Structure 1
Amino acid sequence: MILLNAAESRELDRISQEKYGIPSYLLMTRAGEAVADALVERFPEAATDALVVAGMGNNGGDGFVAARRLIQDGFAVRAVLLGRAADLKGDAARAYAEFRASGGKAIEALGESSLEAALSKRPSALIDAIFGTGLNAEVKDKPRRAIEILNSFAVPAIAVDIASGVNSDTGAVMGAAIRASLTVTFGFAKFGHVSYPGAGQSGELRIVDIGFAARAIEEIAPRGRFLERDDVRHLIRARPVNSHKGMYGHPLVIAGGRGKSGAVLLASRAALRTGAGLVTVAVPESIQP
């Protein structure tokens, strides 16, 4: 599985748009609608009263697209914007306008007191669209309080691209992070999805194709990979049915010391699990029992 860092994610966006003519708002629309569809598919009973919490950037724009899609599909949606709608720019502003045109309303949380009021009612599910993959500073003040309140709801949480508060490049939790049940990411997975502690905040990971240019990823040529079963299956040779342990190697594990018997168990079991036919362990007499 290909892994992208934040810089490569930005380049994928830029090249797809500037060189291959894919409209940025088309990408945002596909992303947000994929999030809404994932919520309805994965948690159908919880989608009846969804809460979308949006930041001021494009991640928030994805959230408003998701909210608009849910409204059009007949679901009740509440939205909270962590800022002023008048300050939204570009695609995020357009997504907000279309959300409003579909009948949606958003509460502008301008301070912690208004945030507390806006998030006073527990939803059946939530969409986290606060921060995207560009986060590189500690989460503080109003966004941090929003994350704390959302986590306290203990309802299915769908993260847009990455759980807010997780560093996309390292998986570090930047002060506080959403505990997502499902993360819907776009194009390719990010390092933060599979690196702990961020991986523990991501929940189930769903990678969605939203139409990035195929040639763009070839130009970026990312080196990051996460090895999965299918990636290494071809390296494992088939074994005859009538084979025996003597045909598959006999390693000797010399390990351990007083208080260190765990090293022996880990190393010898690993040798067996990775295919050795017979394993012999040599240990000090003091730990043999």
Structure 2
Amino acid sequence: MTETSLPSSAFRARQVREGEKQAAQKLGWPMYQLMENAGLAVFECLQYCHSTAKHVLVCCGGGNNGGDGYVVARLARERGLTVTLWQLGEASRLQGEAALARDAWLACGGKIDTPKAHIDAAVDVIVDAILGTGLSGAVRDNAAALIKALNATAKPVISVDIPSGLCADTGQILGETVKAWQTVTFICMKRGLLTGQAALYRGELIFAGLGVAEVLEQLQPASTRVIQQDDIAAMLPPRSRTAHKGSYGRVLCLGGDQGMGGAIRLASEACARAGAGLTAAVTHTDNVLAIVAARPEIMAQSWQLGLDRANQQLSSRIDWADVVVLGPGLGQRAWGKALYASHSVVRQDQSLVLDADGLNLLAQAPDYKENRILTPHPGEAARLLNLTVAEVEADRFAAAEQIQQRYGGVVVLKGAGTVVYDGRQHYVCLAGNPGMATGGMGDVLAGLIGGLLAQGLTLSQAGRAGVWIHSRAADLAAESGERGLLAGDLFAYIRQLINLR
């Protein structure tokens, strides 16, 4: 099972450890059966992904993760492969199911060696069973040395359950961390594999339920949901044959100071492409002609600082809108600050998407509102929380929670493994690619979310649907290459995805 067909639920490591015992007890299985099943799943991955391998190095730690490694080693030896097994620490100190797996390895003629400084050139594949999901502190020196040696070789590595050194709950690296080619994770998805630094270390993510996944999900509430295509399609039913432009909402996009007109143009077009009935933009005078010439469907008008008539027109346009998108190209000069202040008249029955410098200005004068979606990248999140970017990235789930608790609404914390938090549930998006690291991508997302809100989606639904459609569109646009991908390249694919059936 690959990343395209992963479970829709993800859990904290503690939940999995508790739940697997409950599930095994409910099924009447001994815990050792789960270890056997786990080892078999890794061995099957080894056979499928590295079918020509003849010599396997299995690196085991001191817990149950190491026990899984012993099972892999035994199965490989029984199939005629050459197996070298390295034990970090004393093999005699293994307990419980791990000790049973060790004894079964020895009983089949296997040997236990201590880690060496260099890996034999004859080794074809390495199995990482060093550190499991229980890791919470920094990787110790002896494990770090072994992990460093594994990463120094060009040989493929399969990680058992989670790459050693990666936090199962947050995706933070806790020192030296294995860079796996494949990670076979068991029973339930660990949420730390889905965000943070995980994408750099997990390789291809393969899920094995071991026969107890469904039972565990009945016993433990999921802490995180993976955003799925079917969920998005259900939010976007076919349109009525008698629909008209007034049926699908009116969106006002505010932003685009002098020299930053591209941002508000991208946001406005994304809103229209999302299916909003009517889209208007209020922007700097310099930007109006360019927007109307390129996309005449957008009702663009200028706003000049200090003019009473302009303020009256702005107030009227805000009152006209069902949804307001504020921030793309806003800037933090006098013009942007004054336009930002105008959102104070947004009514409770209007939804607000706050992005870019709208978030930076919010950080300077915090307030709490329930009727909005905040879309920070890690830098903006750090300013909202008065933290460093590193502190935000160390636990993206916690950061999203803290922003929501402090500022209200729904939070979309962008990045690899974007996190959406609506005050009750975390959602993670696995779509997207590094080609999205370019100007304008966030503007497109903000406008897309605004367009979805206008069509009647809730804040939570619009956040999830916007993130998934945006990221999936980028994946489709990047099929000819990630480098050189532009934000505007997403529009054709957004239209395709917004019409999912």
The answer to whether the Cα contact below 8 Å between 1:55 and 1:129 also exists between their aligned partners in 2 is: yes
Distance in 2, Cα, partners of 1:269 & 1:161: 43
Q: Compared with structure 1, are the counterparts of its residues 265 and 107 closer, same or farther at alpha carbon in structure 2 (3 Å cutoff)? A: farther
> Counterparts of 2:109 and 2:175 in 1: how far apart (Å)?
35
Matched AA of 2:109: G
Distance 1:33 1:233, change over 3 A: same
**Within the alignment, does 1:27 sit opposite 2:14 as a pair?**
no
- Pairwise CA distance, 1:228: 1.9
* Pairs within 5 Å for 1:194-209: 194-209=194-209
Moved more, 181-190 or 10-19: 10-19
Q: Which residue of 2 aligns with 1:94?
A: 100
Give matches, 1:42-191, under 5 Å. Answer: 42-45=49-52, 47-109=53-115, 115-117=116-118, 119-121=119-121, 123-191=123-191
Q: For residues 245 and 126 of structure 2, what CA distance do their matches in structure 1 show?
A: 53
Whether the 8 Å CA contact 2:188–2:213 is kept in 1: the answer is no
User: How far apart, in 1, do the equivalents of 2:147 and 2:277 lie?
Assistant: 51
Structure 1 CA distance, aligned partners of 2:18 and 2:274? 39
| Amino acid paired to 1:116 | A
User: Which range is displaced more, 87-96 or 126-135?
Assistant: 87-96
- Residue 272 and residue 158 in structure 1: after superposition, are their counterparts in 2 closer, same or farther (change >3 A)? farther
The 8 Å contact of residues 20 and 213 in structure 1, kept in 2 or not, is answered as no
SS at match of 1:9: helix
More displaced stretch, 245-254 vs 80-89: 245-254
**Structure of higher CA gyration radius:** 2
What is the total number of aligned residue pairs between the two structures?
282
Change in CA separation of 1:158 and 1:269 when aligned onto 2, cut-off 3 Å: farther
Can you list the C-alpha shifts for 1:30-53, whole angstroms capped at 9, x where unaligned?
A: 0011001011112223x3222111
CA contact (8 A) 2:40 2:72 kept: yes
Q: Which SS does the other structure have where 1:169 is aligned? A: coil
Question: 3-state SS of the aligned residue for 1:108?
Answer: coil
How much does 1:236 deviate? Answer: 1.8
- Cα deviations by residue, 1:146-181 (Å, 9 ceiling, x for unpaired): 111111113222111111111111110001211112
Task: Describe the shift of the 1:169–1:242 C-alpha distance in structure 2 as closer, same or farther (beyond 3 A).
Answer: same
Q: CA deviation at 1:14?
A: 2.2
User: Aligned with 2:117: secondary structure?
Assistant: helix
CA–CA distance in 2 between the matches of 1:254 and 1:148?
50
Unaligned runs of 5+ in 1: 110-114
8 Å Cα contact 1:68-1:104 kept in structure 2: yes
Partners of 1:63 and 1:160 within 8 A in 2: yes
SS of equivalent to 2:136: coil
Report the CA distance between 1:29 and its aligned residue: 0.2
Instruction: Read off the aligned partner of 2:105 and give its amino acid letter.
Output: F
Q: CA deviation at 1:231?
A: 2.8
CA distance in 2, matches of 1:252, 1:104: 69
SS in 1 for 2:207: strand
**TM-score, normalised relative to structure 1:** 0.86
Is the CA contact (8 Å cut-off) linking 1:252 and 1:281 kept in structure 2?
Answer: yes
Partner of 2:300: none
Q: Distance in 2 between matches of 1:101 and 1:273?
A: 65
Cα distance, 1:287 vs structure 2? 5.7
Task: Decide whether the 8 Å contact of 2:151 with 2:178 is kept in 1.
Answer: yes
Mapped partners of 1:266, 1:48: distance in 2 = 53
Q: Is contact 1:12-1:212 (8 Å) kept?
A: no
Tell me, which stretches of 5 or more residues in structure 2 are unaligned?
A: 1-7, 291-501
Q: CA deviation at 1:248?
A: 5.1
**Percent of residue pairs identical:** 36
Amino acid aligned to 1:87: R
Counterpart residue number, 2:349 = none
- Residue type at the aligned position of 1:71: R
1:232 Cα deviation after fit: 2.4
Any idea what SS the aligned residue of 1:53 has?
Answer: strand
| Larger CA deviation: 210-219 vs 229-238 | 210-219
1:266 Cα deviation after fit: 5.4
Q: Is the 8 A contact 2:187 2:213 kept in 1?
A: no
| Displacement after TM superposition at 1:244 (Å) | 9.6
Of the candidates 6, 20, 28, which is equivalent to residue 13 of structure 1? 20
Q: State the Cα distance separating 1:8 from its structure 2 match.
A: 0.1
**1:165 maps to amino acid:** G
| Deviating more after overlay: 154-163 vs 268-277 | 268-277
CA gap 1:97/1:255 in 2 versus in 1, 3 angstroms: same
Deviation of 1:213 (Å): 7.0
Q: For 2:91 and 2:250, locate their aligned partners in 1 and report how far apart those are by CA, in whole Å.
A: 68
Which 10-residue stretch deviates more, 136-145 or 220-229?
A: 220-229
Match of 2:495 in 1: none
Secondary structure in 2 matching 1:60:
helix
Bigger drift between 230-239 and 189-198 goes to 230-239
Q: SS of the counterpart of 1:106?
A: coil
In the aligned structure 1, how far is the partner of 2:157 from the partner of 2:222? 29
How has the CA–CA distance of structure 1 residues 141 and 283 changed in structure 2, closer, same or farther, with 3 Å as cutoff?
same
